[in-house]
Amino acid sequence: MTLIQDKLRELESYNSVGTCPEDFEAFWQKGLSEDHPAIARLQLQAIPYPIPQVEVFSITVRAGDGADLKGYYLRPALDKGLQGIREAPPIPGLVRFHGYSGNRGQISELLFWALQGYAILGLDVRGQCGETPDGRVYSSGAFSGWMTLGLDSPQNYYYKQVYLDAVRAVVALGHQPEVDEKRIGVFGKSQGGGLAVVTAGLVNALRREVGLQAQVKAVSAAIPFLADFRSGFRLHSEGPLAELSWYFRLNDPEHQREEAIFEVLDYFDAVHFAPWIGNQTACLVSMGLKDTACPPETIYRLYKALSGEKKLLVYPEYGHESPDEFVDRQIEFFARELLPH
């Protein structure tokens, strides 16, 4: 038995302690109905760029609470007819979500996807290290970072609006006239991987509230965060979950509110969104066996919760990182699922 086989056998027998709230679906239906993602549109401002094969834009998406979400949008440069109308069949679209404390990244990070024939959107997560502020007022203080903002209730928690923003990104991309909404994929690493799973679940399961006719067709989640918070908190030794440790240390040293805190986090656990993605969507997941920020137990539980076609790439010598070869596997994955053959 190889090291990977041995570890997967161990993970199969791991008993997680997370539970899905009884009103989970009702909570997110209400959240989407109040956020009105169906009206989301990209506001485009062209950016001169020296690669003529692509068109590059700085974009804004208006969030449900009025915040302006900033990002980049790239698409292949297509010929236009005599009246300036783009003459080409619709193209597949991708949304890239970034990692914790990151931002939309550089144009060059999105460029090679546009050169393959995708329209691609990269958006800031509000309040993190991009140009998108978070103007929400939270009911209590928090430890440095975002994990503990609004932990007093699911309605107030920071990630509620982050998840709704992510849905808006997919909807806005699908509304672009050059994008085929039947061929949309989402991807990211760490926090971005968790957001990819959550967003695909919300869009696919609650399409009427979202305003898209089609499902997200492909999901790539590299070393995904935001999964199995309870196990992650017990097993982690670094990463954003350490903020919870400090929160307890400063606000609840005897952990008297521990169960109440994790009952809030249960509404935001990517594991509970994974089955919502459905059987018609393919998923690619990666996991590092030496990951101490997103322990393998949490990622494997997320993977097991996926119900459709799925592939898990396991890297025994990697921690919270992905080898370069994972990008090639991603390229193959999205080409198979989204590009014409």
Q: Quick one: pLDDT at residue 80?
A: 55
Q: What pLDDT does 283 receive?
A: 98
Averaged over successive runs of 10 residues, the pLDDT of the chain (341 residues) comes to: 85 82 96 93 97 97 96 87 62 97 95 97 96 89 88 96 97 96 97 98 90 89 97 94 94 95 97 97 97 96 96 97 95 97 78
Write down the pLDDT at residue 82.
46
Identify the pLDDT of residue 1.
Answer: 60
pTM (2 d.p.)? 0.96
Q: How far is it, in rounded angstroms, from Cα 153 to Cα 200?
A: 24
291 is annotated as an active-site residue: yes
Q: Please count the structural domains in the chain.
A: 1
β-pair partners for 86: 80
pLDDT at 79: 64
Backbone angles phi, psi at 183, to 5 degrees: -130, 70
Question: Which CATH number belongs to the domain containing residue 158 in this structure?
Answer: 3.40.50.1820
Q: How far apart are CA 272 and CA 268, in angstroms?
A: 8
Contact yes or no for 94/155 (Cβ under 8 A): no
Active-site hit among 236, 266, 320, 322: 320
Mark out the alpha helices in the chain (DSSP H runs).
3-12, 24-35, 107-115, 158-174, 191-205, 207-210, 229-235, 242-251, 258-265, 270-273, 296-305, 325-338
The domain of 264 spans 3-338
Task: Give the model's pLDDT for residue 142.
Answer: 81
> What's the pLDDT at 169?
96
The single residue of 16, 190, 231, 286 carrying the catalytic annotation is: 190
pLDDT tens, 228-264?
Answer: 999 999 999 999 999 999 999 999 999 999 999 999 9
Q: How many residues does the chain have?
A: 341
